[in-house]
A and B are shown apart, each in its own frame.
Chain A
Amino acid sequence: MNAIVANGTYKVFGKRPEQAVARLRAGATRDDLRKEGSTAAVIDASFDVRAGEIFVVMGLSGSGKSTLIRMVNGLLEPTAGELLVHGNDIAKMNAEQLRRIRRDNVSMVFQHFALFPHRTVGENAAYGLQIQGLPKDEQWRRALAALRMVGLQGWEDSIPNQLSGGMRQRVGLARALATGTDILLMDEAFSALDPLIKREMQDQLAGLQHKLGKTILFITHDLNEAMRLGDRIAMMRDGRIVQIGTPEQILNDPANDYVAKFVLDVDKTKVLTAAAVMAPPILAKEDAVRVGQDARLADLLGISAAHPEALAVVDQDQRVVGALDRVTLLEALAR
């Protein structure tokens, strides 16, 4: 079941947007439209986000990714095309229906946190529940639970300005998680954080996702982040989605030069797994060192250096599914 489906979705800002969409469909470029005074932010976007996956939209600033994410909860209305959330078209909803979707189905985490500075951490976490109209004690109970989930128990009476950046974004995450919505939109959620804190937050999100199984639409301009977090990645450029695939597909088979150039900067050893590069199991001896098939190459290089023989790659049931010898590893890195 797909949680979010975009089908030829367009968003154009400026005068006579419908006409601009017609021009785009007829082959006009983004630059053509800009000369005429309208901005094509998202052009013919089609993708689907499966329930329970982390779907990353990766693009540089101006690629239209922020506009795309804002259409999913109706903060921006699509100019043309379909955008289905749980099968219901966002573009056809009235204001009240959109509010209901935002209250009950889709919550959001913001780049600059967007916490309410006049409310305590606990009150911030409870905001969505207050809007949902839950009783006070229920609001507070669930807000505290969400704060505990992100590791902020005991901070509920602080105000956001007393917190560091990383902690503030944890509050932003708790505010979104507390609502209990199954879809989470994360708009460059970790981009404003220091590298170390960012890393920590990514790990925390991955851990939470493992437990909660939300559907997450994650926006970033950082391909390394996209590769770390994403089950699948959509690469955006100039308003268009140029490739959708798993991190490994994008790494090994970039759709065009643009994507290929991006991939150059990615540390492959942190993306590629043993399963993605392994050779047939025949190479592995009976007493070979065993490594998990989901292990990243970065973690395997040291092991391989210490053991001249090929490593045995095993699945969850400890069955040998492949082998990794030094040649295979080097070839994978050289690609």
Chain B
Amino acid sequence: MTTQPLDVQLLDLQPLELVPRIELGAVVESAFNWLKTNFDAFFDALARVIGVPTDGLIELLQAPPPVVMVLIFALIGLLLRGWKFALGALFGLLLIVSMDQWEAAMETLALVVVASVIAIVIGIPVGIWAARVRAASTAVRPLMDLMQTMPALVWLVPVVTLFSIGVVPGVVATIIFALPPGVRLTELGIRNVDPEIVEAANAFGAKPRQTLFGVQLPLALPTIMAGINQVIMLALSMAVIAGLVGAAGLGGQVTAALATLNLGLGFEAGISVVILAIFLDRLTMAIGQGRANPGLLSLVFRRRTDPSKPLVTAGAEEPAAGIERAHDMNHPEPTQISTSTMERTS
């Protein structure tokens, strides 16, 4: 053992010789440039596939007068959730109109809807695959970590390399950022279905596809809906950041406020984002809760009866003697899992 601090000296003087510099950044950059030059046509086509529906949706959302759109949204809220929510939505959305942020909000909404739909269409099948194949789960997990924890701003650089600026790179970056919870919660939901219930389906001779669609997916639905809710929330937060690459909408407003240090504009755009977020969150939660929610639509569904099943009149057919009426309601529900988002009920 030497007593001289030789190591420190070495580190101080020539760190590069101890650990060689790996040019990861340069490798990634050249890889993306290679992609850009060799698959330009593909990315152009992809840009059109994403851009056309987004632009179309923006036009559609902006076509009616803002107040009419607000009323339509409030009506949707009434159908899916109830009158209190509809009233809140009415005032919140009118505030956006009065702050002159309506057009920007509709642009953002279109971006969020397109990105979320694509993220869900990709995410749920991948989640199902990961739940059924352990190797797939192992492969998908680090990819999801990368997508989710890479600072959101970093995604903008490669996306702009491939798609230049505008609404399309905004949507693509949003999809990447919002995808992971859709995959993760789908996988979790399916894995958490009571194994005895899955075994029961198999024991009656169900094919894997019948077990998936008849048992696993329906029972995983609350968790999957929580995942979809998270996808939409993340999409909204990323859509604002996407304003930096010219994605317009509320993100564009925020970017403009930042560039000109316009506190008033920044606050108004920010509050609009919050209102939009709460509206979307509560709406998707209501859909996730399904039968249990008090919206008008569920009342309609509840009255609908299956004509193939005879109606049972109360008390007309008592069960055989010795059968106890339902009393142990506290038997634990085996399949429900609660995530933090699911506990928000109102």
B47: min CB distance to chain A, Å: 41
**Interface assignment of B301: CB less than 8 Å from any CB of chain A:** no
**Interface assignment of B199: CB less than 8 Å from any CB of chain A:** yes
**Interface assignment of A9: CB less than 8 Å from any CB of chain B:** no
Chain B count of residues within 8 A CB distance of the other chain: 37
Which size bracket describes the interface of A in this complex?
Answer: 35 or more
**Interface assignment of B323: CB less than 8 Å from any CB of chain A:** yes
B199: min CB distance to chain A, Å: 7
Residues of B within 8 A of A117 (CB): 197, 219, 333-335
Which of A104, A154, A156, A200 has the most CB atoms of chain B within a 10 A radius of its CB?
A154
Q: Is B210 a contact of A152 with CB atoms below 8 Å?
A: no
291-340 of chain B: CB within 8 A of chain A: 308-309, 312, 316-320, 322-329, 331, 333-335
Q: Which of B194, B203, B206, B324 contacts A108 (CB 8 A)?
A: B203
Q: Is B309 a contact of A122 with CB atoms below 8 Å?
A: yes
Residues of B within 8 A of A161 (CB): 329, 331, 333
Which of B312, B319, B334 has the most CB atoms of chain A within a 10 A radius of its CB?
B319
Q: Is A157 a contact of B312 with CB atoms below 8 Å?
A: yes
Q: Is B309 a contact of A112 with CB atoms below 8 Å?
A: no
**Interface assignment of A35: CB less than 8 Å from any CB of chain B:** no
Q: Which of A57-65, A95-103, A243-251, A280-288 contacts B (4 or more CB under 8 A)?
A: A95-103
**Interface assignment of B145: CB less than 8 Å from any CB of chain A:** no
Q: Is B312 a contact of A156 with CB atoms below 8 Å?
A: yes
Residues of A within 8 A of B161 (CB): none
Q: Which of A99, A116, A122, A157 contacts B215 (CB 8 A)?
A: A116
Question: Could you tell me the distance between the alpha carbons of A128 and B214 in the complex, rounded to whole angstroms?
Answer: 12
Q: Is A110 a contact of B199 with CB atoms below 8 Å?
A: yes
Give the interface of A toward B (CB within 8 A): 73, 75, 99-104, 107-108, 110-112, 114-118, 122, 127-128, 130-132, 136-137, 140, 151-158, 161-167, 170, 175, 179, 185, 197, 200
16 A-B contacts, Cβ less than 8 Å apart? Answer: A99-B205, A110-B200, A114-B200, A115-B197, A116-B201, A117-B219, A118-B219, A128-B204, A131-B204, A154-B312, A154-B316, A161-B331, A161-B333, A164-B326, A167-B326, A175-B204
